[in-house]
Amino acid sequence: MKTATVKELKLELSTRSPKELLEICLRLSKFKKENKELLTYLLYESNDEGAYIQGVKFETDQQFEVINNQNWYLIKKSVRKILRTTKTYIRYSKNKQTEVELLIHFCTRLKNMKPSIKNNAVLTNLLERQVQMIRKSLLSLHEDLRYDYESLMNELF
């Protein structure tokens, strides 16, 4: 089966009735957890971005609390999973300010984690890559926000 392009899908969806669109969305939500999460964000959480950010930060904090600290392999695996989840939530939002806030929160938690990541090159490199991504995303923000986040970044890293 050949997958249609976004343009083709948009054209086809514009010809459908609201009832058909509702059925398509509900059917789509039954197949993948990510589809359901995206619909939840779009319908309930996109109106209050601040509450969404706080919810994601809370979930990130909970995930950091349950990391198995017995060996570096399990720590790295857990940190990668947390980062993957955080990036998924960032992708739902498509807001650069949300991206910067969530990545700063992730990096702060990673940097302050016990045992210290300074002893592990993989986690140190992961932290450095995320800091570079934050700095790159800062360039697209308004200059007042950029200044606030840059000063926060300079304090933390």
Give the span between the Cα atoms of 17 and 88, in whole angstroms: 30
What's the distance, CA 41 to chain centroid? 12
Q: Which tens digits make up the pLDDT trace of 36-85? A: 888 888 888 889 999 999 999 999 999 999 998 889 999 999 999 999 99
- For the chain, give the mean pLDDT: 91
Where are the domains positioned within the chain?
49-156
Q: Is residue 1 scored above 80 in pLDDT?
A: no
